[in-house]
């Protein structure tokens, strides 16, 4: 694994009133890796991504991309630098075709400024082939299944030609076959040279595609390491499943006959 740090947060903090939704998070993302970001509901994962991609301004801390301080930059400037993200709640333009939706993505990103509409549509076609949605390009977004809506989000982000891509729960609500396909797509995106941070509750996907995992709990870092280490860490299991589950496991172990 290439250890070059492409992206880094230092003490990033975001308050909503008195609530520290993200509290003093130091994270490094290495060039070429797939980093998983997990944590229970409300842990601050989406807020973290919003705060480092210009949707929200951090209360404190610094964001560094390829050595440049981009703290507090607005989303469009962050996008032009080569960082894209998807949204947990899909936001397609319903009155537009799939192709037009993706073309909008192609108008942003680092080459977006100089693209004509026609070039943006050509880029959209290329990306739709890559994500295997070419056959749906003239469909309207409101005709798509959830799996394809999620993939459309991915296509819109990819049309920005990012170097670094943040995915926020692109597998939520998918069935197991669709999850397998999404995992394959993430590997393919990564193999094309894109560094990824993926937020996911589907642990099979975290275990199956990430190189490293970072755990947030109550806005702070709980653990980080290899997927095996992190997913077997009792603190992580406890954060996810709660005290009661851990207590029940302990009682069951005590009750079972000794080997
Ligand atoms: N715009 C906002 N205003 C006030 N509080 C917010 C806002 N957005 C999020 N929060 C709160 O911040 C905390 C972190 O929320 P966030 O959505 O970042 O969690 P998450 O880890 O993405 O959760 P999930 O897994 O459910 O998507 C929660 O307590 C949430 O209620
Ligand atoms: Mg979230």
Please report the DSSP string for 31-47 in residue order.
TT-EEEEE-STTSSHHH
Angle, alpha carbons 159-12-42 (nearest 5°): 80
Q: What's the number of domains the chain is made of?
A: 2
Query: Are residues 168 and 49 in contact, defined by beta-carbon separation less than 8 angstroms?
Result: yes
Q: Do 123 and 183 belong together in one domain?
A: no
Average pLDDT over residues 121-127: 96
> Which-ligand-closest: CA of 48?
1
As a whole number of angstroms, the distance between CA 176 and CA 182 comes to: 10
- 87 belongs to a structural domain: no
Band (pLDDT 50/70/90 cuts) for residue 114 is confident
Q: What is the per-residue pLDDT across 180-217, written as a single tens digit (0 to 9) for each?
A: 999 999 999 999 999 999 999 999 999 999 999 999 99
Q: Do 66 and 172 belong together in one domain?
A: yes
Predicted confidence at residue 247, as pLDDT, reads 67
Q: Do 169 and 257 belong together in one domain?
A: yes
Q: What is the per-residue pLDDT across 151-181, written as a single tens digit (0 to 9) for each?
A: 999 999 999 999 999 999 999 999 999 999 9
Q: What is the per-residue pLDDT across 74-86, written as a single tens digit (0 to 9) for each?
A: 999 999 999 999 9
pTM of the model: 0.91
Q: What is the per-residue pLDDT across 3-55, written as a single tens digit (0 to 9) for each?
A: 899 999 999 999 999 999 999 999 999 999 999 999 999 999 999 999 999 99
Domain ends where: 161, 191, 209? 161
In the reported structure, the alpha carbon of residue 238 is separated from the centroid of ligand 2 by a whole-number distance in angstroms of 19
Predicted confidence at residue 259, as pLDDT, reads 45
Q: Higher model confidence: residue 108 or residue 200?
A: 200
- CA 251 and chain centroid, separation: 37
In the reported structure, the alpha carbon of residue 173 is separated from the centroid of ligand 2 by a whole-number distance in angstroms of 14
Domain ends where: 161, 177, 203? 161
Band (pLDDT 50/70/90 cuts) for residue 219 is very high
Q: What is the per-residue pLDDT across 11-25, written as a single tens digit (0 to 9) for each?
A: 999 999 999 999 999
Domain that residue 107 falls in? 92-161
- As residues whose CB is below 5 A from the ion ligand 2, the structure lists 45-46, 88
* Coil, helix or strand at residue 70: coil
Q: Do 2 and 53 belong together in one domain?
A: yes
The residues lining ligand 1, judged by C-beta closer than 6 Å to any ligand atom, are: 16, 21, 39, 41-47, 88
Residues with Cβ within 8 Å of 49's Cβ and at least 6 positions away in sequence, in order, are 37, 55, 85, 166, 168, 197, 199
């Amino acid at each position: 694994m290439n250890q070059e740090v492409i992206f880094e947060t230092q003490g990033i903090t975001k308050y909503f009133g008195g609530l520290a939704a993200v509290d003093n998070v130091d994270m490094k993302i290495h060039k070429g890796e797939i980093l998983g970001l997990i944590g229970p509901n409300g842990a601050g994962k989406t807020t973290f991504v919003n705060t480092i991609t210009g949707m929200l301004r951090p209360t404190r801390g610094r964001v560094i991309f390829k050595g440049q301080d981009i703290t507090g930059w607005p989303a469009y400037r962050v996008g032009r630098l080569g960082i894209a993200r998807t949204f947990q709640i899909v936001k397609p333009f319903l009155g537009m075709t799939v192709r037009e939706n993706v073309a909008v993505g192609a108008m942003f990103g680092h080459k977006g400024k100089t693209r004509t509409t026609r070039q943006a549509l050509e880029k959209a076609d290329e990306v739709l082939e890559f994500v295997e949605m070419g056959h749906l390009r003239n469909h309207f977004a409101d005709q798509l299944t959830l799996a394809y809506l999620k993939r459309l989000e991915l296509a819109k982000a990819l049309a920005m030609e990012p170097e670094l891509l943040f995915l926020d729960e692109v597998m939520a609500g998918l069935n197991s076959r669709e999850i397998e396909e999404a995992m394959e797509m993430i590997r393919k995106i990564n193999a094309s040279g894109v560094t990824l941070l993926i937020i996911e509750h589907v642990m099979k996907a975290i275990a199956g595609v990430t190189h490293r995992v970072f755990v947030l709990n109550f806005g702070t870092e709980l653990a980080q390491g290899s997927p095996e280490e992190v997913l077997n860490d009792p603190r992580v299991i406890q954060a996810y499943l709660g005290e009661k589950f851990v207590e029940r496991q302990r009682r069951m172990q005590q009750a079972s006959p000794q080997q």
